[in-house]
Amino acid sequence: MLSVQDRAIIKATVPLLESGGEALITHFYRMMLSEYPQVRPLFNQAHQASGDQPRALANGVLMYARHIDQLDQLGDLVAKIINKHVALQILPEHYPIVGGCLLRAISEVLGSEIATQEVIDAWAAAYNQLADILIGAEAAIYDEKAQAPGGWRGAREFRLVQKVEESAEITSFYFEPLDQGPILAAEPGQYIGLQLFIGGEEIRRNYSLSALSNQGQYRISVKRETGGVASNYLHDQCPVGTSVMLFPPAGEFTLAASDKPLVLISGGVGITPTLPMLEAALATERPVHFIHCARNGQVHAFRNWVDELAQRYPQLKRFYCYAEDDGVSPAADKLGMLTREQLAEWLPEQRDLDAYFLGPKGFMAAIKRHLQALGIPEQQSRYEFFGPAAALE
């Protein structure tokens, strides 16, 4: 428990974090990643270069400081952090490294006049409190996954048994365990962690599962990203038969049981976690409206599969929106950007529905605004970021 004095000091630093938190966290990452190479595999360097990761952590630190008296007000932020950590296999020994670098960054960026010993001590106590919460929660999840049917702890060796080109940019990868044992059942919407060794360097990445795991396989569907180290490695240097280390499925963005109409809205490769959600929902006979937006038909993955489902399941209605007509692919239901008016036409008449949406940040921000304006209850409008979390403004 933090003392009253510690809480007061933490809250007093909130204005400093609001104005300079991103600079502080950028300095923290630069220091930690240069001095502690053992933690580099845990961080996507592309997210470091873009500033997305520093912004996300700065926001997390700020939210923690703001709610230091009422941590329950952090909502699902802690759950998201825990699941990301579990998917990447963050361990207790990583926390002292992070904590030590964070305190050094506070001292070096704020200076001794502001970052007095009392401030450093208060933030040390606050960090240790948070670390204890996260370590305890993560340990419980690691134990649960290890003890569940088909579960395991840490990395497990899988073999790539099939590669399928789904579009001009997206390829699916099917993995089966090398030991031929059962695998942990994943909930629709979860992701899996990959441990890759590229050019002698270890990197870890999370990829959404794009199919239910009830066939003894895990499938991920990966978009080739320009300059993407992991995505290009998977596309170009992983033939069938390649062994890859996988961490157990994780993630709290999952399909909740409900009898309300379900709306799945995706943009680009954001379609991947909606696919197992669609499979699971159709098995319950609940009405589903599946809305996908793509740049054009050539990069639209899984269209034929969804079309076949729509023919088999009368409760499924599917709609496609392309930004452009490539002149070759089958036509979309709409060309241009997905407007609020068009979305209103494609939604069920009943606005008491469950909506899940994923895609690029700008796309998700627009969808969130549209759903709010169309009367969808905020607590029934759910989304997840593929990379570091950000504000959808």
Higher pLDDT among residues 393 and 163, named by residue: 163
pLDDT at 213 over 70: yes
Residues 276 and 374 reside in one and the same domain: yes
Residues 178 and 141 reside in one and the same domain: no
Tokens of 387: 């990379």
Higher pLDDT among residues 23 and 370, named by residue: 370
pLDDT at 47 over 90: no
Domain that holds residue 327: 262-383
Residue 266 lies in a domain: yes
- pTM for the structure as a whole: 0.91
Q: What is the predicted pLDDT for the residue at 386?
A: 66
User: Any idea which residues carry the catalytic annotation?
Assistant: 95, 138
Q: What is the predicted pLDDT for the residue at 55?
A: 72
Residue 335 lies in a domain: yes
pLDDT at 387 over 60: no
pLDDT at 392 over 70: no
Q: Which amino acid is at 147?
A: Q
Residues 186 and 139 reside in one and the same domain: no
pLDDT at 281 over 70: yes
Going by pLDDT thresholds of 50, 70 and 90, the confidence category of residue 393 is: low
Residues 8 and 139 reside in one and the same domain: yes
Residues 238 and 330 reside in one and the same domain: no
Tokens of 138: 């993560």
Higher pLDDT among residues 264 and 387, named by residue: 264
Write the pLDDT tens digit of every residue in 159-210: 999 999 999 999 999 999 999 999 999 999 999 999 999 998 999 999 999 9
Instruction: Phi first, then psi: give them for residue 13, nearest 5 degrees.
Output: -90, -5
Kind of pairing between the strands at 262-267 and 243-250: unpaired
CA 197 to the chain's CA centroid: 22
**Angle between helical axes of 117-147 and 77-88 (0-180°, round to 10):** 60
Tokens of 307: 């079309």
Q: What is the predicted pLDDT for the residue at 61?
A: 85
pLDDT at 389 over 60: no
Q: How many CB atoms lie within 10 A of CB 315?
A: 15
CATH for 10:
1.10.490.10
Q: What is the predicted pLDDT for the residue at 21?
A: 84
Going by pLDDT thresholds of 50, 70 and 90, the confidence category of residue 340 is: very high
Residues 50 and 97 reside in one and the same domain: yes
Residues 139 and 38 reside in one and the same domain: yes
Query: Which strands make up the sheet holding 191-198, listed edge to edge?
Result: 201-208, 191-198, 243-250, 156-165, 170-177, 218-223
Three-state DSSP state, 204: strand
Tokens of 199: 């050019």
pLDDT at 69 over 60: yes
> How big is the chain by its Cα radius of gyration, in Å?
22
CATH for 277:
3.40.50.80
Return mean pLDDT, the chain. 91
| Domain endpoint, select from 129, 147, 165 | 147
Higher pLDDT among residues 45 and 262, named by residue: 262
Mean pLDDT calculated for residue range 226-250: 95
CB-CB contact of 137 with 90 (8 Å): no
Residue 114 lies in a domain: yes
pLDDT at 326 over 70: yes
Going by pLDDT thresholds of 50, 70 and 90, the confidence category of residue 49 is: low
Kind of pairing between the strands at 218-223 and 170-177: antiparallel
Residues 34 and 86 reside in one and the same domain: yes
CA–CA dist 219, 342 (Å, integer): 32
Residues 18 and 125 reside in one and the same domain: yes
pLDDT at 217 over 90: yes
Range of lowest pLDDT (51-65, 103-117, 249-263, 350-364): 51-65
Range of lowest pLDDT (52-66, 264-278, 373-387): 52-66
| Domain endpoint, select from 195, 215, 250 | 250
| Domain endpoint, select from 103, 122, 147 | 147
| Total structural domains within the chain | 3
pLDDT at 145 over 70: yes
CA–CA dist 28, 26 (Å, integer): 5
Residue among 165, 137, 118, 7 at smallest CA distance from 77: 137
pLDDT at 215 over 90: no
Residue 206 lies in a domain: yes
What does the DSSP 8-state code read for residue 302? Answer: S
Residue 274 lies in a domain: yes
Residue 257 lies in a domain: no
CB-CB contact of 196 with 233 (8 Å): yes
Residue 376 lies in a domain: yes
Q: What is the predicted pLDDT for the residue at 303?
A: 97
Long-range contacts of 166-169 (CB under 8 A, 24+ apart): 166/221, 166/301, 166/302, 167/298, 167/299, 167/300, 167/301, 168/298, 168/299, 169/223, 169/224, 169/269, 169/299, 169/301
Q: What is the predicted pLDDT for the residue at 81?
A: 86
Higher pLDDT among residues 130 and 264, named by residue: 264
Range of lowest pLDDT (15-29, 205-219, 318-332): 15-29
For a pLDDT cut of 90, what percent of the chain falls above it?
Answer: 71
Residues 140 and 8 reside in one and the same domain: yes
Residue 38 lies in a domain: yes
CATH for 227:
2.40.30.10
Residues 56 and 122 reside in one and the same domain: yes
Residues 202 and 324 reside in one and the same domain: no
